[in-house]
A = this chain, B = another copy of it.
Amino acid sequence: MNRVNAVILDRMQSEIPLIPELAGHLIAGGGKRMRPMLTLACARLLDYPGDRHHKLAAAVEFIHTATLLHDDVVDGSDMRRGKTAANLIFGNPAAVLVGDFLFSRAFELMVEDGSLKVLKILSNASAVIAEGEVNQLTAQRQINTSEEKYLDIIGSKTAALFAAACRISAVVAERPEADELALDAYGRNLGIAFQLVDDAIDYVSDGATMGKDAGDDFRDGKVTLPVILAHSRGSEDERKFWHNAMLGHRVSAEDFAYATRLLREHGAIDDTLERARHYGQRAIDALGPFPASGAKDALVEAVEFAIARAY
């Protein structure tokens, strides 16, 4: 991971000082490096002896960072990774443009690596992420969003990059397609579990532990699974409440307290986490074809870590 961090720090440089300054605020300032760690762990799982995956893991993190910068502009976020969001410090224009820079840099890194297959996987993932983000935007404030549509959205906006981060290791290790698909499935299911947990946490966290405030999704009218379940299981009056809340008409501290009470009453948080465990288990089972190893244990632990964040 030190090698990956070195690539990240080296390649976010630019003659335009604002670029490393803004990128550094987000990249150097914490972040779990979950996605590049997955690329590394999968490479280790396959006993890949080379070092191509360092550059590619950095590319994955750049794509992720670019989407975070743009997400914060889109959502008008206040906090990210426990710090003031970059767009609030440097302004939306700089956040948009530095996101574009990091995105381009990611492709430069992939081109340097030279694998068209990796380029295909990650350019496709990038388009799917953007589609997922637009889809999420379209679904915002729509209380009638179905669980199926919600799963579509998080499958695109989150799980696609997890899947790609894992799959590219099988490509550089020159493994058969079955291994690519197994790692893709592992990453995709882990990504869905990860996002489900994130969406549950948004109703139970405090800013200090999670690096962002509880209730962001509630105030933004993002119809996540906890809300979908509570709405679907609720009384007529409760459904009216959710309808109005998602429209932004019921977003006071009292409204949020009421919302979390409804979520508890209907087991919506518990069942969201239950769904997360389901996808987590599928991720673990996707690793079935690979023999036991320390790397495999680490990938199983990554799933457990993703889910344990909620507790």
Contact = CB atoms under 8 A, between A and B. Distances in A.
Interface stretch (A49-57, A114-122, A234-242, A297-305): A114-122
Interface residues of A, number: 43
Contact of A70 (B96, B131, B135): B96
Nearest to A121: B111
Nearest to A93: B74
A192 to B, nearest CB: 19
User: Number of copies of this chain in the oligomer?
Assistant: 2
Nearest to A118: B111
A97 B19 contact: no
Question: In terms of DSSP, what is the predominant structure of the interface of chain A?
Answer: helix
A18 B134 contact: yes
Interface in A139-177: none
Interface in A57-97: 66-67, 70, 73-75, 92-94, 96-97
Nearest to A157: B97
Enumerate the 5 nearest inter-chain pairs by beta-carbon distance, A residue then B residue, closest first: A101-B130, A104-B127, A104-B126, A107-B123, A74-B93
